[in-house]
Structure 1
Amino acid sequence: MAGNKKGNRPGIRRVGRTLAFQVLYGTHFRDADMDMETFFDVNPLVMEQESETAREFARDLVMGVEAKKAEIDKTIETHSQHWKIERIALMELFILRLSLYEMMFTDIPVKAAINEAIELSKTFGDGKSRGFVNGILDGAAKTLKK
């Protein structure tokens, strides 16, 4: 995870987190033979991102979500009350995966991870996304031990 490097401001993290979400969402459409690192590197959004710090932060998040996806999905299913992973809209699913990765496996404060997920759901989801994402993450936050 990107540490306290120069330029690692909250604004840069938000840019990196948004980029990570967009790349993760795009994985649903990727060629099954392409590994995640290559997929990340050739993504036009990544190549267009001017901030190296944002790209590094996004890379760390994407690779982390990919590595811990099974654990993250288990947490989503535990807290989604009668919603199987397959029934969750892709937008919300990738926002949840990203946020739960941050909550479970990084030093990002839980409240910050939830707030950022809500911002992503406002930007990319529909009118019900925010409440759905917040409900699952709030439930997960109560049971997670950092």
Structure 2
Amino acid sequence: MTSRRLIRIKVLQLLYSYTKKEGVTITEVERDLFKSITKSTDLYYHVFLLITEIQRRAFLKIDAARNRKLASQRELNPNTRFIDNPVINQIANNRKFKTYVSTNLVSLNECQDVVALLHDRMMEMDFFKLYMSKPSVTYEDHKKLVLDMITELIAEDEDFDQAMEEKNIFWNDDFELVLSIVYKTVKNMKESYSEDTVFFISLYNEEEDLSFAKTLFRKSILDMKENLELVDQFTTNWELDRISDMDKLIMDAAICELKYFPSIPVKVTLDEYIEISKNYCSPKSSGFINGVLDKTVALLKEKNEIRKVGRGLME
């Protein structure tokens, strides 16, 4: 299941869009929200495709060198450890991977220049040279190479990030979280996996996550006036119109989550929105939002508007 933080961020983005556009309906923006959430899975598979494409690029270069008329002994007998990497081969040959890529038209055909750049950069990186120079390697060594590709090559590369953002503007905010899920997927891979083994992680549960997104989005719009009036009680040194729009939306969404999602602990909700504010608001916003929400929680509990159910959630 996808990170709920990713969904919260997308809800906030679409709330911001809704409040800034005239004439747009809740249903229209909600449609964009659902599309944005489901498209995150495409980015997940794009990253895996990139790993296999870098390997394919290496194979093509080795093959071209082998077939030169005056190929050197080194070119005729290259180090094929990377192009034989069993972890990457498990990804490339996996039935679910191939089906998803073909069915959903996941492609890097228009990004081959980025693939080439990443391939060339990797050839010069220490982690790759160490992997290629070891006298012998285990499955875990092959896996570590792929994990290093994710953290040291792909995560740090602006070209691929930019190429994905051009495909889908929402992917810019998805990138870090999706990469962490790709990393987790690879880390859990086993040597025994066959082409039929289902090891790819489902980023979202269509019923649960889309219901969460829809309820949070709609309640945040419908309750916005009431929630901001509540916030206003705890901003004695600030007039409401001086608080940034994103600060308001974060507090609005947080209050709705506190009230309408009984299975989510109060602490989880507060921590999530405060963390989001650190990336999407001013440097002082997180402290401000934290203080206001703490007081808001106390008042909502007093009015019995926060009701948590489930083991460990009763307060």
Same fold flag (TM > 0.5): yes
Find the aligned partners of 1:84 and 1:46 in 2 and give their Cα distance.
Answer: 35
Q: Deviation of residue 42 (structure 1)?
A: 3.2
Larger deviation: 132-141 or 51-60? 51-60
Q: Deviation of residue 46 (structure 1)?
A: 4.5
Find the aligned partners of 1:138 and 1:19 in 2 and give their Cα distance.
Answer: 24
* Superimposed CA distance per residue, residues 6-50 of structure 1 (whole angstroms, 9 cap, x where no aligned partner): x4xxx532221111111112222222x221121221356356343
Matched, 1:127 2:270: no
Alignment-derived partner of residue 139 in structure 1: 295
Find the aligned partners of 2:266 and 2:255 in 1 and give their Cα distance.
Answer: 9
> For the Cα contact (< 8 Å) 2:247–2:289, is it kept in 1?
yes
Matched, 1:40 2:56: no
Find the structure with the greater CA-based Rg.
2
Find the aligned partners of 1:82 and 1:126 in 2 and give their Cα distance.
Answer: 17
Q: Deviation of residue 141 (structure 1)?
A: 1.3
- Structure 1 140/100 Cα, relative in aligned 2: closer, same or farther at 3 Å? same
Aligned mate of 1:85, from 229, 240, 245: 240
Alignment-derived partner of residue 59 in structure 1: 214
Aligned mate of 2:256, from 101, 123, 126: 101
Aligned mate of 2:17, from 26, 30, 36: 26
Find the aligned partners of 1:66 and 1:21 in 2 and give their Cα distance.
Answer: 11
**Structure 1: runs of 5+ lacking an equivalent:** 1-6
TM-score normalized by the length of structure 1: 0.81
Aligned amino acid, residue 95 of structure 1: I
> For the Cα contact (< 8 Å) 2:18–2:24, is it kept in 1?
no
TM-score normalized by the length of structure 2: 0.40
Sequence identity of aligned pairs in percent?
26
* Superimposed CA distance per residue, residues 97-140 of structure 1 (whole angstroms, 9 cap, x where no aligned partner): 11111123321222111101111111211211110110100111
- Length, aligned pairs only: 136
Find the aligned partners of 2:242 and 2:38 in 1 and give their Cα distance.
Answer: 32
